[in-house]
Structure formats: C-alpha cells, structure tokens
Structure 1
Amino acid sequence: MLKRLAPDTIRKVPQTFQKIYSHAVEITAAERLLFMAGQIGVAPDGKALESFDEQCHQAMANVEALLSDAGMTQADMLRVTYYLTNAEDLPSLGKIRNTRWGSDQPPAVTTLVVAALAAPELLVEIEVVAGI
C-alpha cells in the first residue's frame, strides 16, 4: 500500500508541482521493489541524442521499458532522482515531467544540477525506485 505524505508542518507543494512531486512516499507490505541504475538519453543503438529534450524523453522511455519488463508502470514509481548538467534545462524538465509523468499520486522527487555525468555528451540521468 502506498501513501503520499505532506504534513501541514512543512512547505506545501506548489500547484505547478503537485502532479509531479511528493515530499515522501510510504510503502507498507511491498511485494517487490525495483532499484534502477540511472537511465540516460542514449538510444538502443548506443547513440546519445543531441538536445536535452530528446535525451530526457529517451531516458524516460528507458525507465518505462524497465518498469514494463518488471511488470510495473509509472504509477509504481516511489522515488525519482533527476540529474541535470545545466540549470537552464530545469523549466524544460518540468514541462516534460508534467506532460509525460504527471499523476495524482506522484513519486518523491529530487532534482540535482551536477557538474557532469559519466560522458561529456550526457545532459540528463534519471534514477528510479519502484515497488508494488
């Protein structure tokens, strides 16, 4: 069973983030947990896509493929961590998340801007913990 936590004693989630962010997600009696390695914007042929938006959509597609392979869906995502190499891409990330992964029961989310990822052409990496 999943429960999203948002006590009145901490900052209320702004309206623009309510479909893509929870402060915390509690899970009780999980049957299975899936811990994903960070997924990047690299297509199945091994090529890194060029733009941030393309890489973000590809990384999300990779996450969705792993969820599907485990018999899970986006609704089963408990925690998502986004790593971006450019703070200027934060508005684009928000739009893509709202469009692709917006939900009435969003996961707990952390977004970090980092100096670099594993290869210089990589612009975004997405790490997920899911459970049912």
Structure 2
Amino acid sequence: MFKRAKRLVSNFAALLVVTAATTPFAHAENTFSNPPTIAKGPGYTHVVEVSGPHRLVFIAGQLGLTPDGKFAGEPGDFKAQSTQAYQNLKSALDSVGATFADVIKVNHYLTDIRAQLPILRGVRDSFVNTAAPPASTTVEVSRLAADAALFEVEAIVALPPR
C-alpha cells in the first residue's frame, strides 16, 4: 500500500514539474474602469480588476521619514512629507520589482484634509499613471503613529507570479 502511494506521489510530483516547466504563465492583467453610473473621481479609478495568475503585495503605511529616520522638510511641511512618503513607497515597490503602474489600490491618511488634499493630488500625480490611476481612498485622521507625521500612504500591488 505504501509503495503504491509513494509511486503515485512521485508520478504526481514529476507531472507538476513538467507542467510548471512547459506552461507559460500569463502576466496579471489589470483593468481600470469608472462605471458610467458613478461620478468620475479626481485622480483615482473606482474599479480595478486583477485577472490571471498573479501575486499580491501589500505595502505597509509609509510616512514622510527620510532614510535617517527624520521627517522630511521643516516641521509642518506637508508637501515635503507626502513627497518623501511617496518616495518611500517607490523604494518599497522597487524592492519587489514593481512600479507605480503595478499599484492597484492606495489609501491616504491626512491630518487636515481641506488644506492638504490639493497638495496631495499634485504629489500623487507626479508618481502614479494619471491615465490609469489606482483605486484610492483618502481620509482625515486625528493623528498618525508618530506625533510629527502629517501623512501616510499604503498600497496594494498586483504582479505576475515569480
């Protein structure tokens, strides 16, 4: 009984190896759309569909900290912090072989949405593909994890399998 099971497992493993070696993997295909029944958002896409074999990468919230652990710019400089946070997001994308074109969802956290949102839009648009921007949520929060933090961004990325 065990010999037969061992032979079946061995044959199955060989089949998997042959199949994996001979089957081309398609890249993840991301479709960005704004249904006509929903008002088009400024700088984001309402629906991002990921199809095909893929891997999802979740990038933790990035603050506007420079590599030495200090906040970018002068105290209270939202543009400097948000630009640095997006630079940090770019570094995280680079670490997994991704670009902003692979980002399918971002979440933004601001401490003063009325004053900061117009600035954020300019910063964001200098990084993302504005023709097919990722799905996005932006909210105001009373405070972030670090007292001097004014902004945080997190992302979900869809990539082809390794």
With the length of structure 1 as denominator, give the TM-score of the two structures: 0.90
Q: Which amino acid aligns with 2:90?
A: E
Partner residue, 2:94: 68
> How far, CA to CA, are the matches of 2:92 and 2:146 in structure 1?
22
Q: Which amino acid aligns with 1:39?
A: Q
Query: CA deviation digits over 1:84-132, x for unaligned, max 9?
Result: 0112111111111223324211100100011000111000000100112
8 Å contact kept, 1:6–1:12: yes
> How far, CA to CA, are the matches of 1:115 and 1:81 in structure 2?
16
Larger Rg: 2
Q: Which amino acid aligns with 1:31?
A: H
Once the two structures are aligned, what percentage of the paired residues are identical? 39
Residue 116 (str. 1) matches residue 143 (str. 2): yes
Residue 3 (str. 1) matches residue 31 (str. 2): yes
Query: CA deviation digits over 1:3-42, x for unaligned, max 9?
Result: 11211121133xxx2xx31001000124221101100001
CA RMSD of the aligned region, Å? 1.2
Q: For 2:126, what is the secondary structure of its paired residue?
A: helix
Residue 94 (str. 1) matches residue 117 (str. 2): no
Partner residue, 2:56: 33
With the length of structure 2 as denominator, give the TM-score of the two structures: 0.74
Partner residue, 1:54: 80
Higher normalized contact order (CA 8 Å, seq sep 6+, divided by chain length): 1
- Give the count of matched residue pairs: 127
> How far, CA to CA, are the matches of 1:48 and 1:30 in structure 2?
39
8 Å contact kept, 2:109–2:151: yes
8 Å contact kept, 2:101–2:129: no
8 Å contact kept, 2:106–2:136: yes
Show structure 1 runs of 4+ deviating over 6 A: none
Structure 2 residues without counterparts, runs of 5 or longer: 1-28
Q: Which amino acid aligns with 1:78?
A: I
Q: Hey, which of these two has a bigger chunk of helix by percent?
A: 2
Q: Which amino acid aligns with 2:101?
A: A
- Give the counterpart of 1:105 among 132, 136, 153: 132
Q: For 1:22, what is the secondary structure of its paired residue?
A: coil
Structure 1 residues without counterparts, runs of 5 or longer: none
